[in-house]
Amino acid sequence: MKKYLYTLFLSAAASSTAHAQLLNFGLMPAVRPLAVNPAATGQIAGDVRIAASASTWRPAELRMVTSAISCDMPLLRNVLPKGNQLGLGIVHEETYDKYVNGRSYSTGLSLAYSRAIGRHQHIAAGMQGVFHSYDMDAPSVIVAQGNAIGYHAGVLYDVQTGAVRFHIGYATQWSRIIRAEPAVDEEVTSTLCHTLTAGITAVPVRGLMLHVMGMYNRREIAENFRLGGYGRLLLNGRTRQREKALYVGCYKGVSAWQYVAPYVGFEIAGLRPGISWVLPRENNNPRWLEASLIYNFSFRKHGVKRGYMPLY
């Protein structure tokens, strides 16, 4: 049981189980962009992006609640050569696990650099330093408290030609317990996770954007693969009003835990609230619900760049 508690904490910190991977990355990758790949830090349409989400999964005896918020922005766009930029971001996540009466917290700082290769290609690299804290209390078994540190590093390559943008990315996460009460076995003090993503965004007709993406995570023998996407339909056409858009999408998990996760969101002037939920293939699998909010805004008079095609 002791080993399970620490392994559970490291799982939430570095995505070592199918459920923990969903906790860490969210049902919609766009909801937690800095968790998917820190190289995406600052790659946005405006000057600041705020992304927040809260999710829960049941049955009640296994209830887990997680919340996350991140903020990132591009820097030195007007100082560096055209197409190049720095990105700076911060992310905070909290998780509560009713099964072991445990809570974990993590805060990370992201820094990324994106470099233009010619007119249509970009390559970006990012690094995120993370500090974790946890407190678990499994009745009659153990009380565990401690801290961990970790890093999250990644690279992204994308190419955009006309109305199509393609990206491929790789990221790795590592986390290690640095303080534990009581002491923890050496074999469970660290964990490593790898993430591979590939996606394509296209605008086939004016006012309609389609996005398809696959994401694969692996840590030792645990793995998770999801495939899906969404469509964005502009509702107020070519008028001068603030853009209003409807998002409808779905992601499917095809790993050991198979599920379907629909998504619906509505955007107005860069503010997009949304909701996603899990439809497991088996009735005894936990139900998952995630509410999210993404906000892109700009300090400049012309506002957020129109027609921008996101990575996630």
User: Does 202 reside within a domain?
Assistant: yes
Residue 166 sits in which domain range?
Answer: 2-297
Say whether pLDDT at 247 is over 80: yes
Residue 158's CATH number: 2.40.160.40
Say whether pLDDT at 134 is over 70: yes
Q: pLDDT tens across 168-184, in order?
A: 999 998 888 777 776 66
**Cα dihedral across residues 54, 211, 254, 38: positive or negative:** negative
Neighbour tally for 74: CB within 10 Å: 22
Name the 3-class secondary structure at 252.
Answer: strand
Residue pair 130/151 in contact by the 8 Å Cβ criterion: yes
Say whether pLDDT at 214 is over 50: yes
User: Does 25 reside within a domain?
Assistant: yes
Residue 294: the pLDDT is 92
Which tokens is 219 given? 């840590």
Q: pLDDT tens across 71-82, in order?
A: 999 988 788 888
Say whether pLDDT at 23 is over 60: no
Residue 161: the pLDDT is 85
Residue 17: the pLDDT is 42
User: Does 306 reside within a domain?
Assistant: no
User: Does 62 reside within a domain?
Assistant: yes
User: Does 311 reside within a domain?
Assistant: no
**Bigger pLDDT: 269 vs 61:** 269
- The DSSP string of 12-79 is HHHT-SHHHHHHHH-SSGGGSHHHH-GGGTT-SSSSEEEEEEEEEEESGGG-EEEEEEEEEEEE-TTT
Residue 298: the pLDDT is 79
Range in 56-70, 144-158, 219-233, 295-309 with the lowest mean pLDDT: 295-309
Which residues are 234's β-sheet partners?
245
Give dist(CA 258, CA 281) in Å, integer.
Answer: 6
User: Does 123 reside within a domain?
Assistant: yes
Find where tokens 């936990």 sit: 286
Chain mean pLDDT for the chain: 80
User: Does 74 reside within a domain?
Assistant: yes
Within the chain, how many helices (H) and strands (E) appear? 3, 15
Residue 169: the pLDDT is 95
Say whether pLDDT at 102 is over 50: yes
User: Does 36 reside within a domain?
Assistant: yes
Average pLDDT rounded to a whole number, residues 131-159: 78
5 band by pLDDT with thresholds 50, 70 and 90: very low
Residue 196: the pLDDT is 93
Give dist(CA 291, CA 266) in Å, integer.
Answer: 12
State how many domains the chain has. 1
Residue pair 38/128 in contact by the 8 Å Cβ criterion: yes
What does DSSP assign to residue 71? Answer: E
Give dist(CA 292, CA 280) in Å, integer.
Answer: 20
Query: Is pTM, for the whole model, over 0.85?
Result: no
